[in-house]
Homo-oligomer: A and B are copies of this chain.
Amino acid sequence: MTASIPSATTSFPAPPTDSKQKVGDFLRQLQDSICQGLEQLDSQQTFHEDSWERPEGGGGRSRVMRDGSVFEQGGVNFSEVWGTQLPPSILKQRPEAAGHGFYATGTSMVLHPRNPYVPTVHLNYRYFEAGSVWWFGGGIDLTPYYPFVEDVVHFHQTLKEACDRHHPEYYPTFKLWCDEYFYLKHRQETRGVGGIFFDYQDGQGDLYRGPDPEGLAAQHSQQVGTPPQRSWEDLFGFVQSCGNAFLPAYVPIAQKRQNTEYGERERNFQLYRRGRYVEFNLVYDRGTIFGLQTNGRTESILMSLPPLVRWEYGYEPKPNTPESELYTTFLKPQDWLSGAVQP
């Protein structure tokens, strides 16, 4: 591992000279391996690719699968863009990056399965450089309609193992950040059962850089102390582990649930709950807002939206049904690995 040399002008650990190449190559290969794994799982459909260029610099490869046996729609995007100035939404968070050209690359994915017993899943890993500033961000989260505790535990356990290989504080901190980020304030619901989420990981200071309205992360970091400075290579290795954890975290769940029988009731509930996905992505999601603000490719950005969605005024699940259990147990932050939530 290359030693991290703090830059002369800032306190950011210096990235290697070929940092963009390295991350770009990894994220491109991540898109390939994910698509391959999902085609194997679906067995009926394959991904179709559109390559595109961004007039202001850069481009990407959008891949979409439709009407598969498992996936009603799935999109996996890779993009690599550059320009003279980061958009306002990001500069507000990273004012040090102002006045510098930027490079941003990312792989993102959203899968909308047909069977309501198979959860929707989202992944996004990304990297930014602007002047001497750089950071990694991303995460993965699961959105079931008819959830099983054992599936949620498997998903979180797989992510925890990937995190623990790099730092014992990654999983608890980024799990908490995920619960906080994928939260629909206007619904007072989490988007699903969470996963991990992180942003602005530049090797310095606190892991957590979210708004933390509840003060949970601050409390937590008082208990465990501040983690040591991490090099660019440390963080890149961590992001690689996270990306590679997707297939083992998700595929076994989809395999187990894809043939579960369902009827109109389950399908209607799935379409209704997909509305929350749209609400989150259009109202809150940082990646969507970044894409639309930087004149990104709209069709690729909005590929995350479900193929068919229902809204119903005043809907509430009947008490003591699987639908109400989703709300009362699963759409609240839970410590899934403590064994406290019983099937």
Q: Which residues of A contact B (CB under 8 A)?
A: 50, 62, 64, 66, 73, 75, 185-187, 271, 275, 278-279, 282-283, 292, 298-299, 301-303, 305-314
For A315, the closest partner residue in chain B by CB is B299
* B residues in contact with A75, CB < 8 Å: 313
Expressed in whole angstroms, the minimum distance between the Cβ of A292 and any Cβ of chain B is 5
* B residues in contact with A187, CB < 8 Å: 298
Expressed in whole angstroms, the minimum distance between the Cβ of A84 and any Cβ of chain B is 20
* B residues in contact with A306, CB < 8 Å: 311
How far is A170 from B309 in the complex, measured between Cα atoms in Å?
A: 39
How far is A75 from B312 in the complex, measured between Cα atoms in Å?
A: 11
Instruction: Report 20 cross-chain contacts, Cβ distance below 8 Å, ordered by A residue.
Output: A62-B313, A64-B313, A66-B313, A73-B313, A186-B298, A187-B298, A275-B305, A279-B302, A282-B282, A282-B283, A283-B292, A299-B313, A305-B311, A306-B311, A307-B310, A307-B311, A307-B312, A308-B310, A309-B309, A309-B311
The CB with the most chain B CB atoms within 10 A, among A298, A301, A306, is that of: A298
For A314, the closest partner residue in chain B by CB is B299
* B residues in contact with A64, CB < 8 Å: 313-314
For A303, the closest partner residue in chain B by CB is B313
* 16 more A-B residue pairs beyond the given contacts A279-B282, A279-B302, with a C-beta to C-beta distance below 8 A: A64-B313, A64-B314, A73-B313, A271-B308, A278-B278, A278-B282, A282-B282, A282-B283, A283-B292, A299-B313, A303-B313, A306-B311, A307-B310, A308-B309, A309-B309, A309-B310
* B residues in contact with A308, CB < 8 Å: 271, 308-310
The CB with the most chain B CB atoms within 10 A, among A186, A305, A306, A308, is that of: A186
For A62, the closest partner residue in chain B by CB is B313
Expressed in whole angstroms, the minimum distance between the Cβ of A33 and any Cβ of chain B is 22
* B residues in contact with A313, CB < 8 Å: 62, 64, 66, 73, 75, 299, 303
For A308, the closest partner residue in chain B by CB is B310
The CB with the most chain B CB atoms within 10 A, among A62, A301, A307, A309, is that of: A309
Nearest 3 pairs of A and B residues by beta carbon = A282-B282, A305-B311, A186-B298
